[in-house]
Amino acid sequence: MTRKYFGTDGIRGRANEHPMTADFALALGAAVGRYFRREDDGVHRVVIGKDTRLSGYMFETALTAGLTSGGMNVLLFGPVPTPAVGLLTPSMRADLGIMISASHNPAQDNGIKFFGPDGFKLSDEAEAEIEALLDAGVEPVGAEHIGRARRIEDGLFRYVERVKSSFPAGMRLDGIKVVVDCANGAAYRAAPQVLWELGADVIPVGVSPDGTNINRECGSTKPTMAAESVVAHGADVGLCLDGDADRIILIDETGKVADGDQLMALFAGRWAEQGRLAGNTLVATVMSNLGLERFLGARDITLHRTGVGDRYVVEAMRAQGFNLGGEQSGHIVMTDYATTGDGLMAGLQFLAEMVRTGRKASELTQSFTPVPQLLKNVRYKAGQAPLEMDRVKSAIADGEAQLAEHGRLLIRKSGTEPLIRVMAECEDDALLNSVVDGIVHEVEAATA
């Protein structure tokens, strides 16, 4: 389904450039409010959270204006992680939840994510209907029906308690030294507080947001600072969150980085042993490493792959009743506890395994040996369709034939940029490079 504004995770772009402008946000607020507003005379309510970007103030105000003009009452939480919005939307009996964040993007970008009354992200169909309302324009309600706005001061506390409730009852983190990198983002208060309350010796980094430094040389996409801190402080583990804290990357006591695939392998194996892995299945995207698939297969655990985006992972989980899924990038979705990826909750589950087993982080983050993976992006001009060109199709077919039983090839078009992403996995480095480079060359030649 083609959508005009929505990408794989809400609407995102550079602040003050279309579509991420105050005018657009105002109109969007009116449209999404109209979509979710019930037809009865009950209370119409929306909760709004944000990360620490300077432009968050602008979008929070503009969305509030649009929503209240349509008769929605707005509850403002201020800076909270994205999963907090997913949890608090149904808790507050809201019709809609909104998170203002561009996740792991730099500070000059921003985005708007939506959650339905059940706390789950919207479907493609719902987003398409909102876009139609946005383009058509929405009539404001009469003056007597304009909504109100108020700040909820204890939103952070509510989230902290919910996160702690996911940790095993009676278990403590005494004696465990944890570096937590909050990316100068939405979890800069919540994450250190949760860890401290559970007994950990906490070394916080990336906890001084100034509106412009979110994700700057820190966080899950740039874990070097946290890795250095782990080694320098002799910490037992490092938890690296992104700007809105819905993803996590682990760092072991030696400073080595582990991605979401390793976390999913650990959790899936453990949950299967306990008999709590629903359907004995893990849901992950097409980007997850072949090594993860082999690890799961050896334990008779099914890997169900989806398109890229944690929203598609959650949709598959809900449709088939699975309770564990995620992405290589660090989104870990545990629907027993939350409605979307929650980096802090995933970190607590990892720490619980450290306590339960008495093993070091380095032992728990190496469940499998990843198959070498190579990803290259090829930019093309707007209006072109490289994947429909014969020479590109032929190159892809040839690459698939070369890899055959030796690995895996994935070709996909970016959902946000005019890019073709060429990814392959294979233990033979020469073959891996040859296949990827060959396809990249043909795409470049076909679109020159």
Q: Counting Cβ atoms within 10 Å, is residue 275 exposed (0-12), middle (13-18) or buried (19+)? A: exposed
What is the CATH architecture of 373-446? 2-Layer Sandwich (3.30)
- pLDDT-derived band at 37, boundaries 50, 70, 90: confident
- Which DSSP state fits 20? B
- Compute the distance between CA of residue 226 and CA of residue 204 in angstroms, rounded to an integer: 9
Residue scoring higher pLDDT (406 or 235): 235
pLDDT at 41: 61
* CATH code that applies to domain 260-364: 3.40.120.10
pLDDT at 80: 97
- Which DSSP state fits 296? H
pLDDT at 96: 95
* CATH code that applies to domain 159-254: 3.40.120.10
The residue count of the chain comes to: 448
CB distance 251 to 262 below 8 Å: no
Which of 300, 326, 301, 298 has its CA nearest to residue 312? 326
Q: Which homologous superfamily does the CATH classification assign to the domain defined by 11-153? A: Alpha-D-Glucose-1,6-Bisphosphate, subunit A, domain 3 (3.40.120.10)
CB distance 228 to 296 below 8 Å: no
pLDDT at 38: 62
Does 1 have pLDDT greater than 60? no
- How far, in Å, are 174, 240, 359, 400 from residue 356 at the CA level? 13, 22, 8, 43
**pTM exceeds cut of 0.85:** yes
CB distance 140 to 70 below 8 Å: yes
Which of 114, 4, 105, 3 has its CA nearest to residue 49? 114
Quote the tokens at residue 414.
């970016």
Quote the tokens at residue 354.
């450290």
Does 448 have pLDDT greater than 90? no
Express each pLDDT in 277-323 by its tens digit. Answer: 999 999 999 999 999 999 999 999 999 999 988 989 999 999 999 99
Quote the tokens at residue 317.
């989980």
Quote the tokens at residue 395.
């190159």
Q: What percent of the chain has pLDDT over 70?
A: 98
Computed over every residue of the chain, the mean pLDDT equals 95
Going from N- to C-terminal start, the domains of the chain cover: 11-153, 159-254, 260-364, 373-446
Express each pLDDT in 385-428 by its tens digit. Answer: 999 999 999 999 999 999 988 899 999 988 667 899 999 999 99
pLDDT at 323: 98
Which of 161, 156, 177 has its CA nearest to residue 351? 177
CB distance 180 to 249 below 8 Å: no
Task: Write out the catalytic residue numbers.
Answer: 103
- Compute the distance between CA of residue 298 and CA of residue 386 in angstroms, rounded to an integer: 38
Would the CATH topology of 260-364 be identical to that of 373-446? no
Q: Give one DSSP letter per residue of 155-188, joined into a string.
A: HHHHHHHHHHTTSPTT---TT-EEEEE-TTSTTT
SS3 275: coil
- CA-based end-to-end distance of the chain: 28
CB distance 287 to 271 below 8 Å: no
Q: Give one DSSP letter per residue of 204-241, joined into a string.
A: EES----SS-TTTT-STT-THHHHHHHHHHT-SEEEEE
Amino acid at position 137, single letter: G
- pLDDT-derived band at 181, boundaries 50, 70, 90: very high
Give per-residue burial for 333-346: e unless 16+ CB within 10 Å, then b: bbbebbbbbbbbbb
Q: Give one DSSP letter per residue of 96-129, joined into a string.
A: EEEEE--TTS-TTEEEEEEE-TTSSBPPHHHHHH
Cβ neighbours for 131, distance < 8 A, ≥ 6 positions apart: 3, 4, 5, 6
